């Protein structure tokens, strides 16, 4: 049986000004484990804002977000930091790798913060970087890696903590066609073989074509939700 990992109820994000902007406007959403879901829509539709609220990077103006039975909207900032560390993986458009650290060190960084011992860190990092095709690049710094390789390190880093799900915000936006396809192949394999739950925010038709579910936002509202 599938397990519910994310549920939002009556979710709003309102930016107040001369004219109030509802970036997220009453979103009710359920995501189950093992999903490979793309959230799509035009610029300004609320995709990234919704992802950031689900990931605890931003606060909702109203409504609730429940992750694996825990309502994160009621947590303090410090509690949210700890929750993200243990439960949510992130892949960003701009990679967000630490320039002075190697691929191995970037991947294990979250596990260091979690207090995982060195032997377990080494085993998991080696396994993850091998899975994403970078077993021979473990000692390379980000400047010694291509954009596609850096994003693969970012995927390995997102998975290092064994999160409940991975949020990927426009992960292919800065990649050439071949690198984007390779990255999607890796993510799809992790979804199929390891059961990793991925939620994408994207404009990229390649991501949309590979997704098992496509949720379309317009003006902060869900206007379409299609399972393939």
pLDDT per residue over 3-56, tens digit each?
999 999 999 999 999 999 999 999 999 999 999 999 999 989 999 999 999 999
How is the chain classified by DSSP, letter by letter? ---EEEEEEEEEEEE-SSS-EEEEEEEEEEEETT-EEEEE-STTSSHHHHHHHHTTSS--SEEEEEETTEEGGGS-HHHHHHHHHHHEEEE-TT----TTS-HHHHHHHHHHHHT--HHHHHHHHHHHHHHTT-TT-TT--GGGS-HHHHHHHHHHHHHHT--SEEEEESTTTTS-HHHHHHHHHHHHHHHHHH---EEEE---HHHHHH-SEEEEEETTEEEEEEE-
The model's pTM is: 0.94
What's the mean pLDDT in 200-209? 94
Q: For 171-193, what is the mean pLDDT? A: 93
- For residue 48, the domain's CATH number is 3.40.50.300
pLDDT of residue 195: 92
Domain that holds residue 115: 4-227
Domains in the chain: how many in total?
1
Summarised one tens digit per residue, pLDDT across range 71-118 is 999 999 999 999 999 999 999 988 899 999 999 999 999 899 889 999
């Amino acid at each position: 049986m599938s397990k519910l990992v994310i549920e939002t109820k009556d979710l709003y994000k309102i930016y107040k000004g001369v004219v109030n902007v509802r970036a997220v406007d009453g979103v009710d959403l359920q995501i189950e484990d093992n999903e490979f879901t793309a959230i799509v829509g035009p610029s300004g539709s609320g995709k990234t804002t919704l992802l950031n609220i689900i990931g605890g990077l931003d606060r909702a103006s109203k409504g609730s977000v429940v992750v694996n039975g825990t309502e994160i909207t009621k947590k303090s900032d410090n509690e949210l930091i700890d929750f993200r560390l243990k439960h949510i993986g992130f892949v960003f458009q701009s990679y967000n790798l630490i320039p002075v650290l190697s691929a191995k060190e970037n991947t294990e960084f979250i596990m260091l913060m979690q207090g995982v011992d060195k032997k377990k860190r080494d085993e998991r990092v080696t396994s993850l970087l091998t899975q994403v095709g970078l077993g021979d690049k473990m000692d390379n710094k980000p400047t010694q890696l291509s954009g596609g390789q850096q994003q693969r390190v970012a995927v390995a880093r997102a998975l290092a903590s064994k999160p409940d799900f991975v949020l990927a915000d426009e992960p292919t936006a800065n990649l050439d066609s071949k690198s984007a396809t390779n990255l999607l192949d890796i993510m799809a394999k992790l979804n199929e073989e390891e059961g990793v739950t991925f939620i994408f925010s994207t404009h990229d038709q390649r991501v949309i074509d590979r997704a098992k579910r496509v949720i379309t936002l317009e003006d902060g509202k869900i206007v379409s939700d299609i399972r393939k």
